[in-house]
């Protein structure tokens, strides 16, 4: 049965634990956070992964080279019964109880790296909201606007307007050819038949919200201007 004395004892115990924690923090300076930068140029196999053998409660991906940079994480054990999952920039994972081993592996990603942050005895949540291309909490048009680029189309020839870019959020395209412009994701693009692209009239604009390559075709050729947002 709960009574005044029992309640007071429980509350005093909580106060004592808090004071003990403050004392340990001031006198022993316990290890709490570890940051590691992992280069991803060379692949690591699941059978021979990168391992960290120290206790932690939370793993946070502080940053990565770009939005397509990915690392596979398996908590607790290398055994096959434990499934792995992908982690990217700004992702985090936490557990109520400390995890004593972290397993990482990845495909080769030349020139890329990822920064891992381990929190030994605390839980961490990023204050940033992730911008996504569609769906989710926030739909963003990027944080960087590149300079305008001019592409000169050869007459009646499918030409790349916007190269593939994994960091692209959107690309604004202006038809300055003086005639109809046809666009498609295929290099077999023409202005008629089964390979006909989507028509953009002279002087009109098109917003390309995709990371894949985009081709343009104009019978007379001419200029196309585009501006990327990342």
191-214: pLDDT as tens digits: 999 999 999 999 898 888 888 899
Lowest mean pLDDT among 17-21, 136-140, 209-213: 136-140
Strand pairing class (181-184; 214-217) = antiparallel
% residues pLDDT > 90 (the chain):
36
* The dihedral formed by the CA atoms of 209, 210, 213 and 216, expressed in degrees to the nearest 10: -30
pLDDT interval class at 120 (50, 70, 90): confident
* The dihedral formed by the CA atoms of 74, 77, 81 and 82, expressed in degrees to the nearest 10: -20
* pLDDT > 70? residue 132: no
**What is the model's pTM?**
0.47
| pLDDT for the residue 190 | 92
* pLDDT > 70? residue 75: yes
| pLDDT for the residue 128 | 52
Q: Which tokens go with 82?
A: 């434990």
Q: How far apart are the C-alpha atoms of 208 and 223, rounded to whole Å?
A: 17
List the Cα angle 69/73/74 in 5-degree steps.
170
| pLDDT for the residue 178 | 92
Query: Mean pLDDT for the chain?
Result: 83
What mean pLDDT do residues 120-125 have? 72
Q: What is the maximum span of the chain, computed from C-alpha positions, in angstroms?
A: 92
Closest to 207 in 3D by CA, of 160, 174, 180, 185:
174
Find out whether 109 and 69 touch, Cβ atoms under 8 Å: yes
Question: How crowded is the C-beta side of 48, counted as CA atoms within 13 Å?
Answer: 3
* pLDDT > 60? residue 186: yes
pLDDT interval class at 28 (50, 70, 90): low
| pLDDT for the residue 224 | 92
Lowest mean pLDDT among 61-65, 89-93, 118-122, 149-153: 118-122
Query: Tokens 């295929």, residue?
Result: 186
């Amino acid at each position: 049965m709960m009574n005044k004395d029992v309640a007071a004892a429980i509350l005093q115990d909580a106060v004592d634990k808090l004071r003990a924690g403050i004392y340990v923090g001031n006198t022993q300076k316990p290890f709490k956070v570890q940051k590691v930068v992992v280069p991803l140029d060379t692949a690591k196999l699941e059978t021979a992964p990168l391992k960290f053998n120290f206790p932690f409660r939370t793993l946070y991906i502080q940053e990565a080279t770009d939005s397509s940079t990915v690392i596979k994480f398996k908590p607790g054990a290398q055994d096959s019964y434990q499934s792995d999952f992908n982690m990217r920039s700004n992702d985090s994972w936490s557990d109520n109880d400390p995890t004593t081993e972290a397993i990482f592996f990845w495909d080769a990603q030349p020139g890329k790296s990822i920064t891992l942050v381990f929190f030994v005895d605390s839980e961490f949540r990023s204050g940033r909201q992730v911008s996504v291309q569609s769906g989710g909490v926030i739909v963003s048009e990027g944080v960087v606007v590149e300079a305008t680029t001019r592409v000169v189309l050869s007459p009646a020839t499918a030409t790349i307007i916007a190269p593939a870019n994994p960091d692209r959020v959107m690309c604004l395209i202006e038809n300055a050819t003086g005639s109809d412009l046809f666009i498609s994701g295929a290099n077999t693009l023409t202005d008629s038949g089964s390979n006909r692209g989507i028509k953009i009239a002279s002087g009109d604009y098109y917003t390309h919200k995709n990371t894949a390559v985009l081709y343009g075709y104009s019978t007379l050729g001419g200029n196309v201007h585009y501006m990327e947002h990342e």
